[in-house]
Amino acid sequence: MTMQDILQRASRSREVILEPLSLILIGFFAAFTQSLTGFGSGLLAMSTLPELIGIRVAAPLVALLCTTIELLLLARYWQAINLRAIRLLVLALILGAPWGILALRRVDEEIVMGLLGAVLAGYALYALLNPRLPELRQPAWTFGFGFVAGVLGGAYNTSGPPVVIYGNCRRWSPAEFRGNLQGFFLVNDLIVITGHTLSRNMTALVLHNYLTIAPALLLGVLLGGRLSRRVDPAVFRKIVLVFLLLMGLRMLLL
């Protein structure tokens, strides 16, 4: 056996160990962030997983992860969920999600990654600056934001930014944000999973990666819930937003 063969075997062994470990850590921090701050699992996972396993594996995988996290958090938030308040958003989401899933299959991966970087950086910058937005009352705006959220959810599992901006424009109270967002995310995740399943994106590799990560999600949700009483969620949220901004800019520039 030559030295080159030894080095190649050593490299493959490191990949076998490091990739599952990286997946587990990403899943844990995504669940921990969502449990602690109420947002960010999809954004955080999509900012890291595509470079590790590819966007076409990462997108359906993150849909499974986000749905699992939402179901684990349902016991905490179910009383605040108000689906009637977001029914038009959900209708538009249903119409937009298939277009996002189709784009994921048809558009060049380099373009998809660049657009994902723009979404991450743009939302992080918006959330950090927290500008005062005009108040919107026309139903057409609701449909427009919901449709964009559906497209982004289908392609990137990042339906949250348009809905957060919409909620700010509708002057939702903190209680309305908590209930409306949790209800929207749960419906979104179920629709996106259905779309990926019908599009045959739920491959054996996706399911294998999900089973690898799944136990870490429960640990992340439990730990995030416990630390929410001791850690300032607003400070942690800003740290996450800065990380998303840097990751988004990195995707745009590389």
Q: Model-level pTM?
A: 0.81
Q: Alpha helices, DSSP H only, in 85-227? A: 87-106, 109-129, 139-156, 160-169, 174-198, 204-227
| In the predicted structure, residue 65 carries a pLDDT above the cut 90 | yes
CA-based nearest residue to 41, from 49, 52, 29: 29
The answer to whether position 8 is within a domain reads no
Buried b vs exposed e over 194-214: b needs ≥16 C-beta within 10 Å? ebbeeeebbeeebeebbebbe
> Within 13 A of 204's CA, how many CA atoms are on the CB side?
0
DSSP for 26-49, written as a single string: HHHHHHHHHHHHS--HHHHHHTTH
The answer to whether position 11 is within a domain reads no
The answer to whether position 1 is within a domain reads no
Summarize the confidence of residues 163-168 as an average pLDDT: 87
Is residue 10 very low, low, confident or very high in pLDDT (cuts 50, 70, 90)? Answer: very low
| In the predicted structure, residue 61 carries a pLDDT above the cut 90 | yes
Neighbours of 22 (CB within 10 A): 14
Summarize the confidence of residues 55-61 as an average pLDDT: 90
CA separation for the pair 72, 217 (Å, rounded) = 9
End-to-end CA distance of the chain: 38
The answer to whether position 6 is within a domain reads no
| In the predicted structure, residue 3 carries a pLDDT above the cut 60 | no
pLDDT in tens, 206-223: 999 999 999 999 999 999
Is residue 81 very low, low, confident or very high in pLDDT (cuts 50, 70, 90)? Answer: low
Q: How many separate domains does the chain show? A: 1
Summarize the confidence of residues 114-121 as an average pLDDT: 88
Residue 117: domain span: 17-253
The answer to whether position 169 is within a domain reads yes
Using a 10 angstrom Cβ sphere, with 0-12 exposed, 13-18 middle and 19 or more buried, the burial of residue 193 is middle
